[in-house]
Structure 1
Amino acid sequence: MSTGPLDGIRVVEFAGIGPGPFAGMMLADHGAEVIRIDRGRPGLSFSADARDPLLRNRRSVSLDLKNPASIAAVRRIVKEADAIIEGFRPGVMERLGLGPDVLIGDNPKLVYGRMTGWGQTGPMAPEPGHDINYIAISGVLHALGRAGEKPTPPINLAGDFGGGGMFLVFGMLAALLHAQRTGQGQVVDAAMTEGSSVLMSMMWGFRAMGRWSDERGTNLLDTAAHFYDTYETADGKFVSLGAIEPQFYAEFRKVVGLDDAKWDAQMDPRGWPALKDEVTALFRTKTRDEWVALFKGHDICFAPVLGFEDALADPHNVARGAFVNAGGVDQPAPAPRYSVSRTVPPRMAGEREDAAVLRHLGFSDAEVADLGF
């Protein structure tokens, strides 16, 4: 049986919330052995919620990072690891005696992954913040929303996960490849401000070409165009239309009978508001499922807008195995897929197994007992 593409890689993850655990999940899903260090006295530490997919596919050990013996144990564990993940404010790991100079000094090949909102340096580095704040200064939040309305945060997808955890994983994998070639470890400074701004690269390009306005809701992809938006249906549900290319737009017009010449000027923004009103009224004449049936088999770039339950039951998602149930929890399956390697079937966080994890990491029974287990 094939194994995950990251099989043989050991990562030590310092417990946190949001993008750090997401990065740990991604690495573990693809075969890395991820050991999570929970802060606190043995048995009284951070408690993993068995319903949280972000904590799947790894084991954990609770160590009191205020105890010098625990700090020594962490150094010993990290010395045998390929990488670490930490998401504290700048300076916290250094004050614990676990900064890059120390840990890379112990283990020269170590990839030291640091996940923050503002980055390790700069005037905002020591300040608190959340996803909404990080994407606010990167220019992302300003671009999200409808014309005449205030900016709308895309929950915490653009900062925490897209611009944060995924960029941390990418940087760590790049640094791991570098370490394999050169024997040289390094710090990966992943900032959500910068990651989220990179996600906007295409829009920066459009801006340079004069094809993107700073005014929300007036551009091709931000709900201004009548052929690229979501629409309410007769049953109060929603559908998505993305008929940008001429052939898809023509097919959409053909199927719904939009023959008037006024629909010909597809890319003229001056006509978009009036045409949007007509398309809005059109979609309210049928239910969501009736539109799905009508458009089936036509090249239009259309899909129903599905909630959690509907997404689980969608035929395409079912055929692909896009969602799984592990530990009684419905959740996304690991992605992407490989032609040779295998991802790891989700295993939810379970009972604490601190002593067993320490023994697995090479600690003797006496050393485990000295650490309070």
Structure 2
Amino acid sequence: MTQPLKDILVLDFSTLLPGPMATLMLSEAGAEVVKFERPGTGEDARHTDPMIDGESIGFAVLNQGKRSVALDLKAENAVNILRPLLEKADVLVEQFRPGVMGRLGLGYEAVRAINPGIVYCSITGYGQTGPKATAAGHDLNYVGDAGVLSLSRGPDAHPTMPFGLIADIGGGTYPAVVNILLALIARQKTGKGAHLDIAMAEGAFAFAYWAHAEGVIAGQDIENGGGRLTGGLARYRLYSAADGRQIAVGALEEKFWQAFCDVIDQPADLRDDWSDPEGCSAEVARRLGSQPSTHWEPLLVAADCCCSVVKTPAEAATDPHFSARGVFDRKLDISGKSVPALPLPIAPEFRVSKDVAGRAASLGEDNLHYGAEPRDSE
């Protein structure tokens, strides 16, 4: 099957995580992605640990398959050097604070004047407008401002950090990809491009849709760790087995809950976790803590009750289920070593063949190809 984004040219001015992961997905679907970096050092992610023979694994994972152009965007002739690419580009992705691209002569209006059909995607923490538009922040700040962090932050004495980068990826990467694709479809009908204003803090709201219903619309107080999905019920919690491994109990529906209770032999008078959630969960914790995870795992699998042993990333990568589906079959070349590529939610039939190992381009590797060698202003 022909890749759906074949012949789509993407100019990537983003760094670190949200933008690079978005353009990685576009690249995997066939787009030609040209990544622009600072001359000399490149983007900061090139220098982050862990590394293989001096090459950053994290950078390689997010930037494989892209072209690299080293260009000083502050140079007087930068826009002239970029003009041929701007004229034919389909998508531009940038991740600077609002106003920065404008000061460089590369703001949306300036680029649209060169290419009216450009789909120009700006990813920021708080959006292009509003009181916080230029405020600095990271994922932790964005989920905090969106009210998501307050829902399950652990005890006050030992707050629990979020397990994933919800705002960066869920509020930045995914909305960027979805809206870029929507804008490309709209352009087919109208011939017009668009400026996409992607705010990571806003994108985080959708991850707690139930909290919006309860806390915003219904006006109910939501206690830290007290929600139906954040530990308020015994049937949806994490428990420790005797060997220190954790058991993820997700038996929300009554049939699953009763099946789980049968496995651990939970007394009938301590199965109603709606009326006595703490008493019920204390007994569940005692029973699960009496045996190692190796005892419970086969019993829970047989009961098919939405309960499982929590796996480490390394264990997940060798799980027979994921192996059978080829989740980690794609390979990445880092300094001559073949390693598993990052699994991405792009259907296999739309992606580059899994037999082709991807690699991240060295800094400025493609300058000559795109005519981006420094030259005098025209």
Query: Shorter-chain TM-score: what band?
Result: 0.7 to 0.9
Q: How does 1:59-74 map to 2 (within 5 A)?
A: 59-74=67-82
C-alpha distance 130-295 of structure 1, shift in aligned 2 (>3 A): same
Q: Shift of the alpha carbon at 1:207?
A: 3.8
Aligned residue for 2:136?
A: 128
Contact (CA 8 Å) 2:68, 2:361: kept in 1 or not? no
Name the SS for the 1:326 alignment partner.
Answer: strand
Task: Name the aligned partner's letter for residue 290 of structure 2.
Answer: T
Q: Is the 8 A contact 1:213 1:219 kept in 2?
A: no
Pairs within 5 Å for 1:42-61:
43-46=40-43, 48=46, 49-52=55-58, 53-61=61-69
Query: Structure 2: where are the runs of 5+ without partners?
Result: 47-54
Please say if residues 146 and 222 of structure 1, whose CA atoms lie closer than 8 Å, have aligned partners that are also in contact: no
> Is 1:215 the counterpart of 2:223 in the alignment?
yes
Distance 1:230 1:201 in 2: 22
Q: Deviations over 1:143-201 (max 9, x none)?
A: 12236667644155111111111111112111111112111111100001110112222
Partners of 1:281 and 1:69 lie apart in 2 by 69
Q: Which SS does the other structure have where 2:303 is aligned?
A: coil
Shift of 1:227: 0.9
Q: CA RMSD in A?
A: 2.4
Residue 93 of structure 1: how far off its partner (Å): 0.3
Residue 10 (structure 2) pairs with residue 11 (structure 1) = yes
The one of 354, 358, 376 aligned to 1:347: 358
Q: Within 5 Å, give how 1:1-373 maps onto structure 2.
A: 2-40=1-39, 43-46=40-43, 48=46, 49-52=55-58, 53-146=61-154, 152-155=160-163, 157-207=165-215, 213-263=221-271, 265-266=272-273, 268=274, 270-324=275-329, 325-327=331-333, 328-338=338-348, 340-343=349-352, 345=354, 347-352=358-363, 354=365, 356=366, 358-359=368-369, 361=370, 363=371, 368=373, 370=375
**Distance in 2 separating the partners of 1:15 and 1:232:** 41
Q: 8 Å contact 1:60–1:357 — kept in the other structure?
A: yes
2:238 and 2:248 map into 1 onto residues whose CA distance is 4
Cα distance in structure 1, aligned partners of 2:345 and 2:353: 10
C-alpha separation between the residues in 1 aligned to 2:217 and 2:204? 21
Question: How far apart in 2 are the matches of 1:357 and 1:177?
Answer: 31
Contact map agreement 1:11 1:81 (CA 8 A) in 2:
yes
Change in Cα spacing, 1:369 to 1:72, as seen in structure 2 (3 Å) is closer
- What is the CA deviation profile of residues 246-298 of structure 1, one whole-angstrom value per residue up to 9, with x for unaligned ones? 111121122222242331x34x2x40111111111111122222211112232
Structure 1: any 5+ residue segments left out of the alignment? Answer: none
Amino acid of the structure 1 residue aligned with 2:307: F
Report percent identity of matched pairs: 32
1:334 Cα deviation after fit: 2.6
> Post-superposition shift, 1:65?
1.2
Q: 196-205 or 213-222: which moved more? A: 196-205
Whether the aligned pair in 1 keeps the contact of 2:13 and 2:35 (CA below 8 Å) is yes
Alignment-mate amino acid for residue 342 of structure 1: R
Paired residue type of 2:230? D
Of 218-227 and 250-259, more deviation after overlay is shown by 250-259
C-alpha separation in 1, matches of 2:158 and 2:119: 40
User: 2:127·2:197 contact (CA, 8 Å) conserved in 1?
Assistant: yes
What SS class does the counterpart of residue 294 from structure 2 fall into? helix
Structure 2 distance, partners of 1:286, 1:322, is 32
CA distances 1:42-74 after superposition (whole Å, capped 9, x unpaired): x55337445121112211111111223222122
Confirm or deny: 8 A CA contact 1:115 1:191 kept in the other structure: yes
CA separation in 2, counterparts of 1:211 and 1:231?
Answer: 31
Give TM-score scaled by structure 1 length: 0.88
- Residue correspondences, number: 358
The range that moved more, 138-147 or 322-331, is 322-331
Distance in 2, matches of 1:111 and 1:168, equals 11
- The 1-side partners of 2:374 and 2:234 are apart by 67
Which amino acid in 2 is paired with 1:215?
Answer: E
Q: Secondary structure at the match of 1:122?
A: coil
How far apart, in 2, do the equivalents of 1:331 and 1:342 lie?
A: 13
Worse-matched range after superposition: 297-306 or 47-56: 47-56
CA distance in 1, matches of 2:281, 2:37: 52
Post-superposition shift, 1:317? 1.5
Letter in 2 for 1:229: R
